[in-house]
A and B are shown apart, each in its own frame.
Chain A
């Protein structure tokens, strides 16, 4: 009995040493790490995971982690050139491609994300309803006084077509409503000519802009930017995680359903959903999924 206890203790201590004082469970080498791909927005998460699970510095793993952007990542996964991808949700086109190639995708949310609206910190308006936002961007509400603010016009900035945030805006907010024409400004194009471009958000009392929470919350220089409540709920890590904040989305891990049980990719997915993995995601600036 005592021998067994000693042996058990020996194994525990040895395990602790080998796993680095009990901080790590799953571990990989750069060679055994699954082939990953993904969207630009999940690069920091992907790099942080690889660094944690290989025990290397983030600068050391960075040259080994390549995210080819969302669509190419899906194609690479479907074509078996990647084992797991970290992306936004699949488009109709990507689902159709998978179906055409006889691949079923497993899409698992790994971190929460929200679509947030912002204005100048001194704008007295605390929040907008979801419907008010849609009416503003449809061009029906045009003055802050109509939503409890000062009598100044609302300049409702948009993002360039095909940018991630504009896609999110159309899919998560406007849905079936056509947004009004975006404010534009002249910018220098090639050969020194001037072209009309979607005007960038200007943080003054007229401005209303949008972005994903991840990009706004810790952005340098955003101290004069205020996030707006939507339907009375302020976007923060808790309200986004719990789903109280109404304009919520997520970033996902996607695998082929034929990915073997206990494969490195499945272990990686399991790990990111673990408490340790979720804490790493939060430390990297994302919002936990649970």
Chain B
């Protein structure tokens, strides 16, 4: 018995040691895994700063939407691409998209709970799914990069907890040269700490959203613990405006409830650090079965902005004015923009009977468009018997110089005919054939530059007695010809 017990003890001790060593090995494996994650090798060409992205060349691929279900309660779709010369790469991309679609379908079909905090609580046996959507669509398709976003949402109902809506965001970022998916770090030049740049953006966003909404916050962007910084593998997608960081259950410092949220970092906030074009694009190499023919100027609608707000209620007139501009706008430009405000104010006072003026609303907005700054000044004012709408646009170069219309066209390009044609077409469309003369309006045209077009605005025209507003029209860059433009 004693001998048997000794053997038994020996075996048990051995089992104990093996089991403890196995645990240690597992931990060692984990450490190795963590090490691997931090030793990420950047994809594509090595790119060193400064790197910028102001515009993109549209990838000439066909993106076909595959609708799997489209009923009152369900909508499922994904995309498949064609048009790459390398069919192996094309198939790889399509396979990866379909695979991700199938994986995400598990959430819509209730096979898996969305990995949000507490989601399982809502997934009881008697829970019903009464609405589900899964949509994969294109967010960015330029410079040999294809960035896709997947939105998944489900509406649940169970007797204990009632209704619950859950919403998650996933993404796929493809290098069309290889069909490989790339990481957030690949968006940045090799000689910067990409995660540090993004972390700085998130940190500032936390603060600007009146951060530290702790204990019981109320923002959509609630912290449950100190933000420790994102890591390799952070979910993201690109748009022409910037880098979109998906904040969800993979960022446990944030309490997102049951819906992922997206924080956009404009390219203009990462000056000198963006490597997309240089890493993935080579204008001498055509990856596609047809030539790329379209370009797009990237316009930033977000980023860190400042606002100045002016209102007054003098006598009978209520003035409501604001200026919104990027936080890093130079003092010189800010002064210029304020001067535009005063000029427009003076115009209002000149145009209307000051005593009869009731209401003036003036909105001035400064935004980055490619390497330029667009300043739009909109003013609306009315009195008891007339109202007027006016728009003034100004475009500044990156050096802070005010551009005239000729500055955006190649020196040898005669731009007047296409502008006249656009204006005459607008006059026709507005049915103003008996009204203004194109020649007269052409003399005082304003312009602003946007993603795929230039917008032109005339001075206010009296459409009917007591009502004045400008005529606007747009001309697409592709109709002008990219070689005739200096904005790209």
Contacts and interface: CB of A to CB of B under 8 A. Distances in A.
A71 B218 CA distance: 13
B224 A218 contact: no
A215 B214 contact: yes
Given A200-B208, A215-B226, A43 B117 contact: yes
Interface in A16-30: 16-17, 20-21
A127 B469 CA distance: 60
Contacts of A211: 212, 214
Nearest to A209: B212
Nearest to B19: A17
A220 B116 contact: no
B95 to A, nearest CB: 27
A21 B16 contact: yes
Contacts of B252: 44, 47, 58, 62
A10 B15 CA distance: 12
A202 to B, nearest CB: 8
B227 A64 contact: no
A218 B307 contact: no
Interface residues of B, number: 52
Contacts of B209: 200
Nearest to A37: B118
B87 interface: no
Given A13-B16, A200-B208, A217-B226, A40 B23 contact: no
A32 interface: no
Nearest to B253: A44
A135 B23 CA distance: 56
A187 B308 CA distance: 10
Contacts of A70: 215-216
A128 to B, nearest CB: 20
B430 interface: no
A62 B225 contact: no
A25 to B, nearest CB: 17
Contact of B226 (A58, A64, A65, A219): A219
Contacts of B116: 62-63
A208 to B, nearest CB: 15
B118 A64 contact: yes
A66 B121 contact: yes
Interface of B: 1-2, 5-6, 8-9, 12-13, 15-16, 19-20, 23, 113-121, 199-200, 203, 207-218, 222-229, 249, 252, 255, 307-309, 322
Nearest to A158: B210
B19 A221 contact: no
Contacts, number: 158
Nearest to B114: A63
Nearest to A220: B229
Given A13-B16, A197-B210, A198-B210, A66 B118 contact: yes
Contacts of B113: 63
A186 B309 contact: yes
A39 B216 contact: yes
A91 to B, nearest CB: 11
B29 to A, nearest CB: 14
B115 A63 contact: yes
Contacts of B19: 17, 21
A215 B212 contact: yes
Contact of A2 (B2, B118, B210): B2
Contacts of B200: 221
B226 A21 contact: no
Contacts of B215: 39-41, 70, 88, 163-165, 167-168, 212
A180 interface: no
Contacts of A262: none
Contacts of A43: 117, 224-225, 255
B13 to A, nearest CB: 7
A130 interface: no
A41 B224 contact: yes
B5 A21 contact: no
A181 interface: no
A159 interface: yes
Contacts of B120: 63-64
Given A88-B215, A164-B214, A212-B215, A62 B12 contact: no
Contacts of B308: 186
B225 A44 contact: yes
